[in-house]
């Protein structure tokens, strides 16, 4: 009974804190702040396999685990109620959630009030429930009347919690804010597919992913449980640190400079061999090199340390931003303003570097500094400071078992900014055979390849490897994504009948 009372009290506390947060216009409620902090405190070695297995479900899972943890804590507090211990735990819960709120960027007093409200409701509901006869005077006695009263009361409270929580969701400052930002996004110039994919980039093989990834299929990786919602009119990028002329840019400043289009393949360092955390599209933005020239980067600054609106950080080598490659402060992808999930209003994209060291979404702050003085979100968690994308190749076709005879084998290969010179395929460890390559507009994108296989009946293993334009073959050495990206040949097993 006490445990149940604790559960109900915790549910009521969560609901009320959500409601208070919504009423006070808090964009990130205490529950979300706690979940986000838990994500941040998860060591890289744990995060990596979790992301690899659950993929995009990582965000709802983090929130559900947080809710369950709070409810479990409520159950413990209920068991101990009333006691000094139980009260102390309530205080601990308030302090911890308040700490989580404060630890997040954009903290408001409303968030702290929502924490306090949650704690008070927890204690209040327990006080109410556990004073009822069935749990107070003789908890084990068969006091049917008291029992019924307890159930009715806790049922009512549980219902109230659901209603309050639901109301909080409806009133949620977040959904209103999201609608505002979507509106702001929709009035910006937009021409989906404005830049068509260059001719010959697609081999046109059925079931193979297109060379240009549609925005809706572009892979997504970030630590944001709820995405930052930024009105472009409010967006600024503050540039400071080891520069001669610090400055702050607005969205309009970028638009006024004119946008450059560049086809860029982005890849996540967590992409396993054969994985799909890689996509290709045309980004439009202002060359980062131009902006760095304007602010005057000091000679001994080797790192652009960028911070997003949600506090995520990233260290990018200044050399990769100023060596002439199409490193962009991007406003658009595939002709439309960045989708909110992909960094609206402004993000970075740098050809040749994994996203964790280059692709800051919702970027708001640039500090020119030195790698020896800073450490970024993922380097803090065991990933390498430098993250050039490794040469890799993947087999996409065939996807299932095939009939004997002529079988198209096809996929993609990439060595962004070095470029792909050739792709080779072999069957059952035999001789490497040269695949045909599709065209590409630059060295910055992946390239489609295909090879015709005269398949004989039986079980076969097909393998692929790429050679970059420097003549360097893709390594056969298997490496896990941690610390600087997976390597090894992708192989598939095919049954031919
Ligand atoms: N603000 C922010 N930017 C971020 C991240 C993040 O967690 N937060 N993740 C990075 C990583 S690890 C990758 S691989 C790319 C992914 O970009 P996408 O989601 O648009 O594909 O974004 C990068 N930028
Ligand atoms: Mo990533």
> In angstroms, rounded to a whole number, what is the distance separating the alpha carbons of residues 261 and 322?
17
Whole-number Å distance, alpha carbon 34 to ligand 1 midpoint, is 21
| Secondary structure letter of residue 380 according to DSSP | G
Lowest mean pLDDT among 51-60, 97-106, 252-261, 463-472: 51-60
Residues 196-228 as b/e (b if ≥16 CB within 10 A, e otherwise) read: ebbeebbbeeeebbebbbebeebbebbbbbbbb
Candidate from 56, 225, 341, 359 with most ligand 1 atoms within 8 A of CB, to mutate:
359
pLDDT at 344 over 80: yes
Question: How large is the average pLDDT for residues 316-339?
Answer: 98
Whole-number Å distance, alpha carbon 481 to ligand 2 midpoint, is 10
Task: Tell me the pLDDT of the chain averaged across its residues.
Answer: 92
Lowest mean pLDDT among 17-31, 262-276, 306-320, 366-380: 17-31
Which ligand does the CA of 378 lie closest to? 1
Ligand 1 pocket residue status of 58, Cβ below 6 Å: no
Which ligand does the CA of 481 lie closest to? 2
Lowest mean pLDDT among 5-9, 283-287, 437-441: 5-9
pLDDT at 187 over 50: yes
pLDDT in tens, 199-239: 999 999 988 999 999 999 999 999 988 899 999 999 999 99
- 392-496 maps to CATH 2.60.40.650: yes
Fold classification of 215-381 is Sulfite Oxidase; Chain A, domain 2 (3.90.420)
Candidate from 40, 218, 222 with most ligand 1 atoms within 8 A of CB, to mutate:
222
pLDDT at 247 over 90: yes
Q: Which of 21, 10, 35, 273 is nearest to 154 (CA)?
A: 10
> In angstroms, rounded to a whole number, what is the distance separating the alpha carbons of residues 111 and 233?
25
Q: Residue 475 half-sphere exposure, CB side, CA atoms within 13 Å?
A: 8
pLDDT in tens, 355-409: 999 999 999 999 999 999 999 999 999 999 999 999 999 999 999 899 999 999 9
Ligand 1 pocket residue status of 356, Cβ below 6 Å: yes
Question: How large is the average pLDDT for residues 142-166?
Answer: 75
Length of the chain as a residue count:
497
pLDDT of residue 141: 47
Q: Name which residue sits closest to atom 9 of ligand 1, judged by CA.
A: 222
Cβ neighbours for 325, distance < 8 A, ≥ 6 positions apart = 350, 351, 352, 417, 444
C-beta separation of 438 from 448 below 8 A: yes
C-beta separation of 298 from 244 below 8 A: yes
As a whole number of Å, the CA-based R_g of the chain is: 27
pLDDT in tens, 61-74: 888 888 899 999 99
- Map out the domains of the chain as residue ranges: 2-171, 215-381, 392-496
> In angstroms, rounded to a whole number, what is the distance separating the alpha carbons of residues 352 and 163?
50
Cβ neighbours for 307, distance < 8 A, ≥ 6 positions apart = 313, 314, 360, 363, 364, 365, 367
> Quick one: CA torsion of 194, 195, 199, 204, rounded to 10 degrees?
-70
Whole-number Å distance, alpha carbon 27 to ligand 1 midpoint, is 21
| Secondary structure letter of residue 56 according to DSSP | G
| Secondary structure letter of residue 426 according to DSSP | E
Whole-number Å distance, alpha carbon 416 to ligand 1 midpoint, is 17
How much of the chain exceeds pLDDT 70, in percent?
96
C-beta separation of 415 from 469 below 8 A: yes
> Do the two domains 215-381 and 392-496 of this chain adopt the same fold?
no
The pTM for the full model equals 0.85
Question: How large is the average pLDDT for residues 106-122?
Answer: 91
Whole-number Å distance, alpha carbon 496 to ligand 2 midpoint, is 36
Ligand 1 pocket residue status of 222, Cβ below 6 Å: yes
Cβ neighbours for 43, distance < 8 A, ≥ 6 positions apart = 381, 382
| Secondary structure letter of residue 445 according to DSSP | S
């Amino acid at each position: 009974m006490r445990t149940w009372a604790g559960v109900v009290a915790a549910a009521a506390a969560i609901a009320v804190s959500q409601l208070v947060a919504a009423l006070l216009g808090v964009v990130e409620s205490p529950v979300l702040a706690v979940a986000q902090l838990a994500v941040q405190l998860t060591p890289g070695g744990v995060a990596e396999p979790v992301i690899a297995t659950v993929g995009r479900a990582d965000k709802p899972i983090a929130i559900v685990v947080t809710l369950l943890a709070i409810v479990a804590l409520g159950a413990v507090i209920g068991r101990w109620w009333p006691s000094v211990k139980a009260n102390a735990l309530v205080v601990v819960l308030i302090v911890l959630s308040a700490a989580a709120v404060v630890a997040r960027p954009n903290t408001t007093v409303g968030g702290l009030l929502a924490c306090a409200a949650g704690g008070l409701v927890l204690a209040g509901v327990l006080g109410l429930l556990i004073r009822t006869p069935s749990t107070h005077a003789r908890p084990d006695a068969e006091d049917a009347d008291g029992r019924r009263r307890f159930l009715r009361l806790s049922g009512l409270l549980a219902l109230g919690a659901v209603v309050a929580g639901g109301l909080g969701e409806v009133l949620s400052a977040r959904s209103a804010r999201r609608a505002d930002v979507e509106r702001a996004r929709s009035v910006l110039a937009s021409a989906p597919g404005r830049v068509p994919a260059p001719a010959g980039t697609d081999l046109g093989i059925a079931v193979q992913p297109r060379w240009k990834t549609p925005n809706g299929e572009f892979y997504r990786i970030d630590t944001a449980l709820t995405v930052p919602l930024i009105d472009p009119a409010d967006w600024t990028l503050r540039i400071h640190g080891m520069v001669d002329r610090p400055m702050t840019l607005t969205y309009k400043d970028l638009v006024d400079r004119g946008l450059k289009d560049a086809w860029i393949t982005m890849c996540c360092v967590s992409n396993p061999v054969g994985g799909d955390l890689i996509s290709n599209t045309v980004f439009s933005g202002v060359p980062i090199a131009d902006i760095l020239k304007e602010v005057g980067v000091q000679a001994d600054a080797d790192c652009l340390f960028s911070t997003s609106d949600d506090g995520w950080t990233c260290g990018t080598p200044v050399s990769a931003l100023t060596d002439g490659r199409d490193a962009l402060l991007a406003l658009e992808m595939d002709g439309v303003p960045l989708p909110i999930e992909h960094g609206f209003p402004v993000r970075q994209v740098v050809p040749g570097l994994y996203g964790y060291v280059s692709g800051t979404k919702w970027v708001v702050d640039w500090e020119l500094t030195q790698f020896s003085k800073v450490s970024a979100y993922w380097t803090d968690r065991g990933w390498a400071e430098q993250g050039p994308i490794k040469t890799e190749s993947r087999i996409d076709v065939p996807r299932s078992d095939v009939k004997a005879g002529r079988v198209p084998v096809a996929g993609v290969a990439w060595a962004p900014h070095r470029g792909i010179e050739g792709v080779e395929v072999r069957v059952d460890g035999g001789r490497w055979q040269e695949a045909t390559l599709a065209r590409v507009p630059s060295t910055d994108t992946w390239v489609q390849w295909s090879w015709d296989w005269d398949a004989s009946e039986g079980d076969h293993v097909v393998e692929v490897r790429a050679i970059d334009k420097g003549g360097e073959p893709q390594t056969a050495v298997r490496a896990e994504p941690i610390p600087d990206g997976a390597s090894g040949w992708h192989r598939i097993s095919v049954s031919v009948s």
